[in-house]
Amino acid sequence: MSKQNNNLFQRAFDAIIEGRTRQAQRYVAQYERDHAAARKVNER
């Protein structure tokens, strides 16, 4: 039973980490889209 509970908690923890990773990737992508225009204006 202990091993099964550990597996359950490990899977839940992995799911939380995966969700946070996807959230961070979306945040970075949104930041790059929002600031792409400003970089193009300043570059020659």
DSSP character at residue 35: H
pLDDT, tens digit only, all 44 positions of the chain: 567 778 999 999 999 999 999 999 999 999 999 888 666 655 55
Distances (CA, A) of 4 to 7, 13, 17, 32: 5, 14, 20, 42
Q: Which two tokens stand for residue 29?
A: 């992508």
pLDDT confidence of residue 40: 63
34-44 as b/e, with b when 16 or more CB fall inside 10 Å?
A: eeeeeeeeeee
**Residue 5 per-residue DSSP state:** H
Length of the chain: 44
| pLDDT, position 36 | 80
Q: What's the pLDDT score for residue 30?
A: 94
